[in-house]
Structure 1
Amino acid sequence: MNKKVNFNILKKFWNIAKLYWLGEEKKGAFTLLILLGLLLIGYTQLSVLLNRNQGELISTLAAKDEALFWGAVRSFLTVLVIYVPLFAGFSYVQSKLGLYWRKWLSEHFLGRYFANRSFYQLSAKYKEIDNPDQRISEDIRGFTQDSLLFLLVIVQSFLQVIAFSAVLWSISQQLVIFLLVYAIAGTIITAGVFGKKLVNLNFAQLQKEANFRFGLVRVRENSESIAFYQGEKQEEKHLINLFDDVYKNFNSLIIWQELYLGLFVNTFEFLPYVIPAIVVAPSVLSGDLEVGKVSEATGAFARVFFSLNIIVSRFQSLTSFAAGVNRLSGFYEFLKIEDKKPLDTKNKPIIDTITNGKLATKELTLQTPNYQNTLFNNLSLELPPQQGLLIMGSSGCGKSSLLRAIAGLWNSGTGVIYRPELDEMLFLPQRPYMIIGTLREQLTYPSVDKSISDQELQEVLNLVNLSNLAERFGGFEVEKDWGEVLSLGEQQRVAFARIFVNKPKYVILDEATSALDIDNEARLYHHLTLQNITYISVGHRESLKNYHQSMVRFNDDKSILVKN
């Protein structure tokens, strides 16, 4: 891996890491980090004592000195009693700090993900940022836990190099010099030969695994539609193709990681086990050193070698970590962009949106987000308060797109949209969104902390002709997969119940009664009128004309008829 790649990875890493370590949690974070450092220093020094005691045990046995032997055993056990809880405490604090970091970073990313509807922009316009669910869950988990682990491993390695090099130097200076040259050469070879290739393969593996998992989720979420279409063969073929991508990339990964890198690492790490004995043997055989010094030198040599050898020994983990940093960095760069327009649309026209407490358009021309298709031209209309506007026309003529523009989801085009604040509006799609939660949360959605009694909720259910819904499922606090247990007609009535619970001033209805019979449709619109709500409806039914005071019809020739 060249210096440029290393620098870029470090830069991307720090851009994300500093959010936590230089943010509002920095005092607590650095307090735990300092505690980790102190624990690390403590048990590293105890490791040196344990290594020395092991050598003394062997030397006392070789000298057949029983008194010194049992003294060495007592000394070893004393150090061990202190070492074990110290090491356990270090592991606990490390895990706790990693958990705090993950919690804060996950909440930070979620906040940015939902701010300014970035989640919608991501799905609608930025397809290259794939699988945000994996990046928020898996990549953040790996980023926080692995980066903390690598930091502590580096610090621990530094401390062990200092501590055990002194031991090793007192036994044999030749071992120290050889060790430095050997470790540096191995690191250069590993990074230069295997680095870039393994980072790229690990990055691709994360992406392909996520695509395969997403394909399986889509089958589960759309199982009924697939069954109706009898689309099992096509779905199976699609998933097999996705898994084939996973298989091929992983095959390349294990060839490079397990075979090529494995051969080098195993060979490279085998030799240090025998080298200390070879170097120290002449001094032991001549009587200049005790036999225990062989064990002490071997232990110290191994500690120093593996401390200097962290890049080689952990190279597989480092390349996987680097791939995760790349994915998380790409996601973060998207989330912090204030202007969500692609670069090639910077000079394209944008619809002006003015918040002034009314619903109207002036000379509105709407285009698709990529500017490749004009949906309609020069639409001017104004909806009086507490009245209804019906939008009709054939499929694909721009009816639902107008609603997206009013909601601020699409802004490609020219003209002006006048609208109230978005929190005064409620949008109901044809297929209602059923959240995961209780019946109470289902009815109060999207309000987060709305307080409403069971009696009030029951009155609302009576209005939408779902009087027995709470009783049927066991009350308002029961949790169900509501998208599965309710029919589409019931879901649409639950969506209308949200209107009567949240009491918005404006409602936008996109085919919101398509699954209802005429009587239920008339009942719901009647209650809308009684609530003095201003509403816009998109629909095909002729019966809808009875509930609206004005109408806009989009014709196939892109002409627009406005009737007041």
Structure 2
Amino acid sequence: MSETRAQAEKDETKAGALPEAELVKRPMAAFWKLTKAWLTAPDRGNARWLILALVLLTVGQVAVQIRLNIWNRDFFNALENRDFAAFRWQMVVFLMLAVGAMAVAVYQLYTKQLIQLAWREWLTKRILESWLHEGRQYQLEMAGASADNPDQRIAEDIRVSVDLAVDFVGGLLTCSMMLAAFVGILWTISGPLHLGFVGIDASIPGYMVWAALTYAIIGTTLTLVVGRPMVGHNFARVAAEADFRFGLTRARESGEGIALIRGEVDERRGLERLFGNVRGAVRRLMRSQRNLMYLTSGYHSLAMIFPTIVASPAYFSGAITLGGLMQIGAAFGQVQSSLSWLVDSFPRIAEWRAAVNRMVNFREVLDELDALVADPSQPTITVTEGDPDTLVFKGIEVAFANGTTVIQDATAEIHSGERVLIQGESGTGKSTLFRVIGGLWPWGAGEIVTPPRETMMFMPQRPYLPLGTLKESLSYPAGPDKYPDEECHKALERVGLVRLPERLHDEERWDRVLSLGEQQRLAFARLLLHRPAWIFMDEATAALDERNQDAMMQMVLDELPESALVSIGHRPGLEAFHTRTLKLQKAEGGARLTRPPRPPRQQPRWKIPGLKNPLKRRPRVPV
């Protein structure tokens, strides 16, 4: 039974192990590069002054500890000599030192937290700029890149990377100063150790220093050997936790769909499987921590008595007083603690390296996407801005990230004021073609010349409604102050959302409060406010009944008669609102963009009271 369990633990450890190349040098070098970029950036704020303040406070902390070490000697000497006056004075000195230590510790912690916050804010801003830039957040998901759960990497991994890095630098700075100060004290007060061996007299100067150094080297070496697997196990744990959290978020966001099809049992099964990954990763980490705890617990327990044992011969021989013995013990503790910083910090170092690895990996994947788009030697779709009155496709070939071609040799030209409907079977790449126009899809070849981006507006099937007030959703992506409330009221009433104007400044999850049909009508109201010259609709009326679809389309023609309209749609009656049709026809090697024969014009299915007939001929104007 024990052999079976041991084999199971071995298999779990092997499953959670990571390639050595992913754990060590490259992430650390990249993180150091980010650190230097922050300290030299024009928007670093008062980071340098905060770091200087932290150094000065650390010097103050070390000075207090040195004075406490001297107090330790004088206090115990007063006790040994039964000198009550000296004892009373040492209590006063201790109170003053305690107040000083408290003040230094408080401001040292506060300064360190200010540095952590400033650094995290700067790094988060930089990574957000790279992630939410020209569709990189979308391309990252479509490329299947090895940077899962960007929310976890931005929110949690950056925090852990920054907070622990500042903690470690502060700890190393303190340990270095303590070591420099107390090595001298320990060397002086411990004196030489005289040895007699085979008639030869020998002495070891500052023998307590060598004892502390030997003790720390042994402990550090054993810690590195025993604790090394913890880095990989921490990485696996963080990734598993992120996947589990994403599964919970997805279940919450999709609560209605899960409830309607009674999918709770299957959803629980999936979440339990994700938590099983968490459990396995945590168990592997726990075993590593257990093994390390055996070592560190014994190491620190022995350190409590080790200096007293080593220095006791000098005390019993009368070479040092009780105060001197206590001072040696305290100084040895400071030296040994400084030298053993790695032993104490190793579990947190393992966690930090895992977070740095994930954060740096995420940044590198974003940089690779930027390089792919910017590299002229790579076969990518070139999107350039040109004539504001023309949209041109020049031999466009659209592929998936894995290289599979979905659209081949698409060539077309659309002019300002035209209304073009793009149709095709499911899977021919209609929506992907829209993503190409929007500059989101770099995979493929060819060139697209678009109007200026600020003249274009895209309307997907499910409109994006940001968190905040209804007016913020209506004005998006512009700010809520750009449009007066009166204009927003008119736009909402124009699309039939007559109950919403009075809630313009209410803050809700509007993507949940409104039905999909209402969200699509809100997108048309947004269109009325922005009044773009080019409108791109991807199944933007799919959730509306035909009556409301015709009403929305007719409204666009009436309110924005000069705007170009490019639509994707399958619903009956859409042809009546467009002047021509392009079709993506399935073919071997990818769909082709063709122009089918022009069908006879038909009247819309629904005649909406109060709306003009979009097909009614206008009287010719004499030339």
TM-score of the alignment, normalized to the shorter chain, above 0.5: yes
User: Equivalent residue of 2:393, what SS?
Assistant: strand
Q: For residue 191 of structure 1, what is the aligned residue in structure 2?
A: 224
Alpha-carbon shift at residue 413 of structure 1 (Å) = 3.6
Alignment of 1:93-492 (within 5 A): 93-172=111-190, 173-195=206-228, 197-257=229-289, 259-337=290-368, 339-341=370-372, 349-356=379-386, 357=388, 358-375=390-407, 377-448=408-479, 451-471=482-502, 475-492=503-520
* Structure 1: gaps (5+ residues): none
**1:17/1:388 Cα in 2 relative to 1: closer, same or farther (>3 Å)?**
same
Alpha-carbon shift at residue 490 of structure 1 (Å) = 0.4
**Worse-superposed segment, 288-297 or 85-94:** 288-297
- In structure 2, give the amino acid aligned to 1:542: P
User: Equivalent residue of 1:366, what SS?
Assistant: strand
- In structure 1, give the amino acid aligned to 2:460: P
- In structure 2, give the amino acid aligned to 1:317: R
User: Equivalent residue of 2:573, what SS?
Assistant: helix
Q: How many Å separate the matches in 2 of 1:490 and 1:40?
A: 60
- In structure 1, give the amino acid aligned to 2:571: R
**1:460/1:6 Cα in 2 relative to 1: closer, same or farther (>3 Å)?**
closer
Are 1:512 and 2:567 an aligned pair? Answer: no
Say if 1:369 and 1:410, in contact at 8 Å, map to a contact too: no
Q: For residue 40 of structure 1, what is the aligned residue in structure 2?
A: 58
Q: How many Å separate the matches in 2 of 1:431 and 1:6?
A: 43
Say if 1:272 and 1:301, in contact at 8 Å, map to a contact too: no
Q: How many Å separate the matches in 2 of 1:382 and 1:563?
A: 17
User: Equivalent residue of 1:380, what SS?
Assistant: strand
Q: For residue 4 of structure 2, what is the aligned residue in structure 1?
A: none
**1:346/1:383 Cα in 2 relative to 1: closer, same or farther (>3 Å)?**
closer
Alpha-carbon shift at residue 450 of structure 1 (Å) = 5.0
Q: How many Å separate the matches in 1 of 2:318 and 2:310?
A: 14
User: Equivalent residue of 2:67, what SS?
Assistant: helix
Q: 1:539 aligns with which of 569, 576, 600?
A: 569
Say if 1:98 and 1:145, in contact at 8 Å, map to a contact too: yes
User: Equivalent residue of 2:76, what SS?
Assistant: helix
**1:92/1:363 Cα in 2 relative to 1: closer, same or farther (>3 Å)?**
closer
**Worse-superposed segment, 145-154 or 520-529:** 520-529
Q: How many Å separate the matches in 1 of 2:493 and 2:45?
A: 54
- Provide the identity percentage: 32
Alpha-carbon shift at residue 346 of structure 1 (Å) = 9.3
Q: 2:595 aligns with which of 548, 558, 561?
A: 561
More helix by share: 1
Say if 2:391 and 2:451, in contact at 8 Å, map to a contact too: yes
Q: TM-score, normalising length from structure 2?
A: 0.85
Are 1:19 and 2:51 an aligned pair? Answer: no
Alpha-carbon shift at residue 193 of structure 1 (Å) = 3.9
Q: How many Å separate the matches in 1 of 2:22 and 2:328?
A: 39
Q: How many Å separate the matches in 1 of 2:488 and 2:429?
A: 36
Say if 1:2 and 1:192, in contact at 8 Å, map to a contact too: no
Alpha-carbon shift at residue 546 of structure 1 (Å) = 1.2
What is the number of residues matched between the two proteins? 557
Q: 1:549 aligns with which of 557, 579, 582?
A: 579
Root-mean-square deviation (CA), in Å? 2.4
Q: How many Å separate the matches in 2 of 1:270 and 1:3?
A: 36
Q: TM-score, normalising length from structure 1?
A: 0.93
Say if 2:146 and 2:365, in contact at 8 Å, map to a contact too: no
Q: How many Å separate the matches in 2 of 1:492 and 1:546?
A: 20
Q: How many Å separate the matches in 1 of 2:457 and 2:332?
A: 70
Say if 1:465 and 1:520, in contact at 8 Å, map to a contact too: no
Q: How many Å separate the matches in 2 of 1:224 and 1:449?
A: 30
Say if 1:284 and 1:291, in contact at 8 Å, map to a contact too: yes
Q: How many Å separate the matches in 2 of 1:202 and 1:4?
A: 13
Q: 1:526 aligns with which of 533, 550, 554?
A: 554
